[in-house]
Each structure stands twice: as C-alpha cells, then as structure tokens.
Amino acid sequence: MSVSKKTPRAAARSTRTRVTSRSRAAAARQRFPAIEAFCDAYLNQDVHAIYGSPAAAADAFLADATAAEIRQLRAEWAAFRAALPRGASADRLARFQHTFAAGWAPSRFSQVAALFARLGAPSSRE
C-alpha cells in the first residue's frame, strides 16, 4: 500500500485556495458591513429560539433599525446579489453562508433572496 504525499506545488496550491477563499470572504464582509451586522444580530444560530423564524427576525430588524440602516442594508444586498456568480442556487447559497457565516441554515438561495426581499419592502419610516 502506497502512501500518497502532496507535492510541494500541490500543497502550496491547496493552501493558496484556502487563504484566498478566507481572504475573499473577509473582504466581502468589509465591503458589506450592514449585511454582516444583520446576520450577526438577527440571523444567528438562535434565530428560531429568539424570533421564531427568519422572517420574524427580519420584521424585528425593520422595527429596530433606523431608516438609514434599512436603506444601507438594502443597498448592500443589491450590490452583493449583483456580485454573485450566475448559476446554481447552491453556489450562491454557499457564497452567502461562507461570507457571512449566518447561523441560519437555509436550504436554497431563494430563501435568502425572499428574506432580503422582505426587507426591501418600503417601510412607514421612509
């Protein structure tokens, strides 16, 4: 039985991929701080225990946030969504989850899009 070892080149490529992926996610979090803050505060692992559902968490955000914070989140979501790759929903969902590490675990990107669409409805404060 032979033990396969990674060549130095393969090991470097593997490390570069991980670092690049982490770096890309960190850069996206810096570019979209309102989405990161929303995910941390409202879509964390306790979303069901605290709010009952992601939709109720979105409603809580709309009740808690200022009009400027809501506009900022909407603008960032539009920019983030426009930057996502075209193609399979699973790829877009993975990018969202990897970037924002939301504790909420939707099974399809359409669920994420529907939640942010809920936030996009005009509020009475605007």
Average pLDDT over the chain, rounded to an integer: 80
In which residue are the tokens 């970037």 written?
99
Structure tokens at 101: 């590490």
pLDDT on residue 126: 43
pLDDT on residue 15: 44
pLDDT on residue 24: 66
Domain boundaries, the chain: 8-120
Distance separating alpha carbons of residues 87 and 56, to the nearest angstrom: 29
In which residue are the tokens 């701080």 written?
33
The pTM of this model reads 0.73
Q: What is the DSSP letter of 9?
A: H
Of 67, 70, 80, which Cα lies nearest the Cα of 38?
70
pLDDT on residue 26: 65
pLDDT on residue 9: 53
* Intervals of the chain under pLDDT 70: 1-29, 121-126
In which residue are the tokens 């990897």 written?
98
